[in-house]
C-alpha cells in the first residue's frame, strides 16, 4: 500500500526511490548525450576544443603577457589540468540549474523522483571530461611529465567536482522553478567563481595564512587536487579536507531544500 | 490483496489564484515583499488575504480492484487535479490517498519524446519515463511497434514523423504499460477516428483484464463504453458517484438545465412560434442523454406558441450533423404529410425514429419550423442557430452478438449478404 499525504517530513530524503528509478537516470543521461552530438556540427570536437582554446588564451594572457608564476610547470599544462575539472564543474552547474525548468513537460505530467533531473543533467559532462582527458595525457607525454600513482586519487576528486556542482545546482534548479532570475544569474556566478578559483593562476599567489580559508571554495580543493595528482605540485592536505567538509554541508543542504520544494514543482513550474 | 484499490479521504487541493496569473515571481519582488513585511506588521496591517481556490474540496471515495471509473465534470472542476494527486505529481493540501497496487499514469501522450531521437530510441526513453523497466520494454517492443504501425520508420528521428504517426507511437508505448491501477487523462482525443477506436479498444481490454482504471474524459461515449462506474466533480466538489450511465445522464441533463441554449441564441424566422428545447426519449417516454446505434429513439422538440393561428399548417423539423457541422440528414414532419394545426400555447412535438442509423460518435442537432408550405416555399417561423450535442454509443447493431461497429462514416445500414451462386 502506498499512502499520499499532505504532510511533509522535510528531512526524509527518500533516496531509495531514486535507486528504483536508476534506469530513468540512465536513459535521461543517454538522451542528453545522444541529442547533443546529433545536433552539433563538430560533435565530439567541442569537448576538446573548448578547454584547448581556453588554455591557449590563458597561456598567452596570463603566462606570456602577465607572466604569472606557474610553480615551475609549462603554463599550458599548468592551466589545462585545472581547466578540465573546471569545465566539468561549469557545465554541470549550468545544466543542473536550468534542468528542472527545461523539463517542464516531464515535471507536470509524470511522477518520478525529481532528483533524477538535475543528476541526469550533470552526468553527460563526464563524457566530455573523458575525451579532453585523453588530450591531457598527450600533453603530459609531450612535456615529459611522468605519470604518478597519485592519479588514483583523480576519481575521488572528480566526484568532489561533480558533487560541488550538484550541491549548488540543486539549490539553483529549485530556486529557478520559482524565480526565473536564476537563469540570468548562473553565467555571472560561473564567471565570478572562476576568478575565485586558481584556474588561470597559481594558488601560491595567495598568502599562506589565507589558504585554508581559500579551501572554503570547494573548487579550489578540486583544482589544486588535480595539479597535485597530475603534476605533483605542492601539498594540499589541509585544503582538500576543508573543501570536502564544505561540499558535504552544501550537498546535504541542497538535498533537503530540493526535497522540501519538490512537492510544489508541478504547481509552480 | 484487499478489495479496495484506491481510497481517497477528505482530499483537498488549494491553489493560489494570484500565483497562476503571475506565474513566476522574480527574486526582487520577493525581497521587496519580505523587507516590507515587518513594517506593515508594525502598522497593524495583516498580510493581504491571498486569493485562493480549492481545486478539490473534501473529496472522498473508494474504488475496488477491477473497477473502471470515469471521472467527469466541466473544465476546471478538478478532474485533472485529482489525477495529478493520485499519480503523485503534486501533493494534496489536505486529506490522504491510499493506493493498493502499482500505479501507472497517462496524463499526456508522448511525454518526454525527443524529436531528434529515432522511434526506437523514443520507445525506450518514453517507456522509462512512464516507469517501465528496460527489460520490460524490450519484451514488449515488437508488440508496441506493431500496435503503432510504424515498423518502417523505426530508425527515423520522430521529428520527420507525421503527427498521426507520432501520436500512434506515443500511445502505443503508454498502452503497453501494465500497472495494477491505471490513471488516464483525456488522451483518446488524439489521432484519427480509426486510431481513436483502436485506443478505445485497447483501453477496454485493460479494463476487462481486471485492472483498475480511473479515466478522465469529456467524451461521454468513451466513458459509457469503458467504465462501469463514474464520479462527477463540480467546482472541486464530488457531487455524484454511481453507475456510469446514471452519472452521465445526470451530468448531461444538469448541463442542459444550467444553460438552455435555446434561451439566448441567435434565431431566424418570424417568431410566431419558438422552439424552447430539444431532448431525447425512449419509446416508453424515459428521458435519455446517450443514444444507441440501431435502437429506437424519440426526438422531443419543445415549443411555445406565441401568435400562430389555429388554421396555420406547421411543419417541425430536426437535422443531424457531424461534429464538424456537416449535415447528415434532416426530417420535416411534412415529409410524411404531417402538418400540425391548432397548437396549444406550449407543448412538445415528438418524432419517433424506429432505428437510429448512426454510428457511435458525437453529433449535433438543429431544429427548424416552417408553416403553410414546405421547407423552401413555406414561411420560416423559427430557426434557432443552435447545435444541440447528441452522443451515440454502439450496441449490437447487426444482431451478431458483438459490438463490431465501424465508426467509418456516420451512417450504418444493414444488408443481406447472399450466398455464393454460380452465375
Q: Does residue B285 share a domain with residue B154?
A: no
Residue numbers of the domain that contains B282? 267-408
Q: Which of B195, B225, B254 is the last residue of a domain?
A: B254
B310 with B226, same domain: the answer is: no
Residue B260 inside a domain? The answer is: no
Q: How many whole angstroms separate alpha carbon A202 and alpha carbon B131? A: 48
pLDDT one-digit tens code per residue, A77-123: 999 999 999 999 999 999 999 999 888 888 888 888 899 999 999 99
- In a domain, residue B37? The reply is no
- As a whole number, mean pLDDT of residues A160-185 equals 91
Q: Catalogue the E-assigned strands of B325-411.
A: 327-332, 346-353, 361-371, 379-384, 388-393
Residue B273 is placed in which grid cell? Answer: 412560434
pLDDT digits (tens, 9 = 90+) for A209-250: 787 788 889 999 999 999 999 988 877 778 888 899 999 999
Of B194, B180, B380, give the one whose Cα is nearest residue B275.
B380
Residue B112 distance to chain A (closest CA, Å): 6
Same structural domain, B314 and B381: yes
Residue B288 lies in a domain: yes
Sheet holding B297-305, edge to edge: B287-288, B273-281, B297-305, B346-353
Considering B225, B254, B283, which residue would you say is the last residue of a domain?
A: B254
Sorted by sequence, the CB contacts under 8 Å of residue A143 that are 6+ apart come out as A73, A74, A77
Q: Are residues B237 and B137 in the same domain?
A: yes
Measured CB to CB, residues of chain B less than 8 Å from chain A are 15, 19, 23-28, 30, 84-100, 103, 105, 107-108, 111-112, 114, 116-117, 121, 124-125, 128-131, 133-134, 157
Q: Do B117 and B250 share a domain, yes or no?
A: yes
My answer on whether B397 and B363 are in the same domain is yes
Instruction: For residue B55, give the chain A residue with the closest CA.
Output: A267
Q: Same domain, yes or no, for B327 and B234?
A: no
Question: B28 in a domain, yes or no?
Answer: no
DSSP letter assigned to residue B380:
E
CA angle (B409, B410, B411) in 5-degree steps? 100
Entry pTM? 0.71
ipTM for the complex shown: 0.84
Same domain, B70 and B152: yes
Residue A12 pLDDT class (50, 70, 90 cuts): low
B38 within a domain of the structure (yes/no): no
Do the domain assignments include residue B41? Answer: no
Tell whether B192 and B123 lie within a shared domain: yes
Q: B300 in a domain, yes or no?
A: yes
Q: Is there a contact between A38 and B124 if contact means CB atoms under 8 Å apart?
A: no
Question: Taking CB atoms and an 8 Å limit, are A111 and B88 in contact across chains?
Answer: yes
Count of domains in chain B? 2
Q: What is the largest CA-CA distance in chain B?
A: 103
Q: Which is nearest to B222 in space by CA: B240, B234, B204?
A: B204
CB contact (8 A) between residue A1 and residue B99: yes
Q: How far apart are CA B346 and CA B276, in angstroms?
A: 9
Write b or e for each residue in A155-166: b if 16 or more Cβ atoms lie within 10 A of its Cβ, otherwise e. eebbebbbbbbb
Domain boundary among B231, B254, B277: B254
Query: Do the domain assignments include residue B69?
Result: yes
Q: How many angstroms away from the CA of B256 is the closest CA of chain A? A: 32
Residues B289 and B155 in one domain: no
Domain of residue B317, CATH code: 2.70.50.60
Based on the fold, state whether residues B244 and B169 are members of the same structural domain. yes
In DSSP notation, B256-325 reads HHHS-TTTS--EES--SEEEEEEEEE-TTS-EESEEETTS-EEEEEEEEESS--TT--EEEEEEEEETT-
A8 touches chain B (CB under 8 A): yes
pLDDT tens for the 423 residues of chain B, in order? 468 899 999 999 988 765 444 445 666 666 666 665 555 555 554 444 457 788 899 999 999 988 889 999 887 788 889 999 998 888 898 899 999 988 888 887 778 888 889 999 999 999 998 888 889 999 999 999 998 888 888 999 988 988 778 888 888 888 888 888 888 887 665 556 677 777 778 777 877 788 888 988 877 877 887 888 999 998 889 988 999 888 888 887 776 555 677 877 788 888 899 999 999 999 998 888 889 888 899 999 999 998 888 899 999 999 999 877 788 999 999 999 999 999 998 899 999 999 999 988 888 899 999 999 888 899 999 999 888 888 888 777 887 776 566 677 889 888 888 888 876
Give the distance from residue B2's alpha carbon to the nearest chain A alpha carbon, in angstroms: 10
- Interface contact flag, A178 B25, Cβ < 8 Å: yes
Contacts with B, A 79-118, CB within 8 Å:
105-112
Question: Which region, left, alpha or beta, applies to residue B282 given φ > 0 means left and ψ of -120 to 50 means alpha?
Answer: beta
CATH of the domain at B155: 3.40.50.300
Does B167 share its domain with B296? no
Phi-psi region of B210 (alpha: psi -120 to 50; beta: other; left: phi over 0): left
Among partner residues B98, B111, B133, which is closest to A106 by beta-carbon distance? B111
Q: Which of A6, A107, A178 sits opposite B91 (nearest CB)?
A: A6
Amino acid at each position: 500500500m502506498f499512502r499520499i499525504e499532505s504532510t511533509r517530513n522535510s528531512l526524509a530524503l527518500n533516496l531509495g526511490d531514486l535507486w528504483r528509478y536508476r534506469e530513468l537516470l540512465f536513459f535521461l543521461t543517454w538522451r542528453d548525450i545522444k541529442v547533443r552530438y546529433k545536433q552539433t556540427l563538430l560533435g565530439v570536437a567541442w569537448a576538446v576544443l573548448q578547454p584547448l582554446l581556453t588554455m591557449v588564451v590563458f597561456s598567452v594572457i596570463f603566462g606570456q603577457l602577465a607572466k604569472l608564476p606557474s610553480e615551475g610547470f609549462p603554463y599550458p599544462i599548468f592551466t589545462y589540468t585545472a581547466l578540465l575539472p573546471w569545465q566539468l564543474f561549469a557545465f554541470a552547474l549550468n545544466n543542473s540549474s536550468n534542468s528542472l525548468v527545461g523539463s517542464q513537460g516531464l515535471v507536470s505530467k509524470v511522477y518520478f523522483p525529481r532528483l533524477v533531473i538535475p543528476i541526469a543533467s550533470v552526468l553527460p559532462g563526464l563524457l566530455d571530461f573523458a575525451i579532453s582527458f585523453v588530450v591531457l595525457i598527450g600533453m603530459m607525454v609531450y612535456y615529459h611529465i611522468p605519470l604518478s600513482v597519485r592519479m588514483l586519487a583523480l576519481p575521488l576528486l572528480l566526484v568532489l567536482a561533480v558533487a560541488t556542482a550538484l550541491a549548488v545546482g540543486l539549490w539553483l534548479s529549485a530556486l529557478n522553478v520559482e524565480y526565473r532570475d536564476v537563469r540570468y544569474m548562473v553565467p555571472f556566478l560561473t564567471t565570478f567563481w572562476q576568478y575565485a578559483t586558481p584556474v588561470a593562476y597559481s594558488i601560491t599567489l595567495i598568502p599562506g595564512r589565507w589558504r585554508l580559508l581559500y579551501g572554503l571554495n570547494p573548487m579550489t580543493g578540486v583544482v589544486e587536487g588535480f595539479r597535485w595528482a597530475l603534476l605533483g605540485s605542492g601539498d594540499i592536505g589541509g585544503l582538500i579536507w576543508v573543501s570536502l567538509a564544505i561540499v558535504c554541508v552544501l550537498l546535504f543542504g541542497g538535498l533537503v531544500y530540493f526535497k522540501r520544494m519538490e512537492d510544489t514543482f508541478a504547481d509552480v513550474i | 490483496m484487499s478489495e479496495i484499490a484506491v481510497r481517497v479521504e477528505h482530499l483537498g487541493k488549494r491553489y493560489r489564484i494570484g500565483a497562476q496569473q503571475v506565474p513566476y515571481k522574480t527574486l526582487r519582488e520577493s525581497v521587496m515583499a519580505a523587507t516590507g513585511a515587518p513594517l506593515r506588521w508594525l502598522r497593524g496591517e495583516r498580510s493581504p488575504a491571498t486569493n485562493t481556490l480549492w481545486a478539490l474540496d473534501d473529496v472522498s471515495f473508494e474504488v475496488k480492484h477491477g473497477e473502471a471509473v470515469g471521472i467527469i465534470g466541466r473544465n476546471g472542476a478538478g478532474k485533472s487535479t485529482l489525477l495529478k494527486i493520485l499519480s503523485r505529481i503534486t501533493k494534496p493540501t489536505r486529506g490522504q490517498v491510499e493506493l493498493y497496487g502499482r500505479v501507472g499514469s497517462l496524463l499526456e501522450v508522448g511525454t518526454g519524446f525527443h524529436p531528434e531521437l529515432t522511434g526506437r530510441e523514443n520507445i525506450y526513453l518514453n517507456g522509462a519515463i512512464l516507469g517501465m523497466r528496460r527489460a520490460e520494454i524490450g519484451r514488449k517492443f515488437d508488440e508496441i511497434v506493431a500496435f503503432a504501425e510504424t515498423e518502417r520508420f523505426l530508425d527515423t528521428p520522430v521529428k520527420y514523423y507525421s503527427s498521426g504517426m507520432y501520436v500512434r507511437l506515443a500511445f502505443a508505448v503508454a498502452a503497453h504499460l501494465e500497472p495494477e491501477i491505471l490513471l488516464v487523462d483525456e488522451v483518446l482525443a488524439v489521432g484519427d477516428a480509426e486510431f481513436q477506436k483502436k485506443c478505445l479498444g485497447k483501453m477496454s481490454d485493460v479494463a476487462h483484464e481486471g485492472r483498475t482504471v480511473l479515466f478522465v474524459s469529456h467524451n461521454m461515449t468513451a466513458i459509457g463504453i469503458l467504465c462501469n462506474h463514474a464520479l462527477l466533480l463540480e467546482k472541486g466538489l464530488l457531487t455524484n458517484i454511481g453507475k456510469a450511465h446514471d452519472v452521465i445522464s445526470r451530468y448531461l441533463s444538469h448541463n442542459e438545465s444550467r444553460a438552455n441554449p435555446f434561451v439566448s441564441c441567435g434565431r431566424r424566422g418570424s417568431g410566431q412560434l419558438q422552439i424552447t428545447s430539444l431532448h431525447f426519449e425512449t419509446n416508453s417516454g424515459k428521458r435519455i442523454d446517450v443514444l444507441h446505434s440501431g435502437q429506437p429513439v424519440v426526438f422531443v422538440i419543445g415549443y411555445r406558441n406565441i401568435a400562430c393561428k389555429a388554421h396555420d399548417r406547421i411543419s417541425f423539423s430536426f437535422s443531424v450533423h457531424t461534429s464538424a457541422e456537416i449535415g447528415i440528414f434532416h426530417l420535416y414532419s411534412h415529409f410524411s404529410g404531417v402538418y400540425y394545426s391548432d397548437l396549444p400555447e406550449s407543448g412538445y412535438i415528438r418524432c419517433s425514429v424506429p432505428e437510429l442509423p448512426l454510428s457511435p460518435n458525437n453529433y449535433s442537432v438543429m431544429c427548424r419550423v416552417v408553416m403553410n408550405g414546405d421547407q423552401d416555399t413555406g414561411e420560416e417561423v423559427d430557426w434557432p442557430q443552435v447545435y444541440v450535442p447528441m452522443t451515440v454509443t454502439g450496441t449490437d447493431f447487426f444482431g451478431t452478438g458483438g459490438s463490431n461497429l465501424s465508426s467509418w462514416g456516420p451512417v450504418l445500414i444493414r444488408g443481406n449478404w447472399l450466398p455464393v451462386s454460380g452465375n
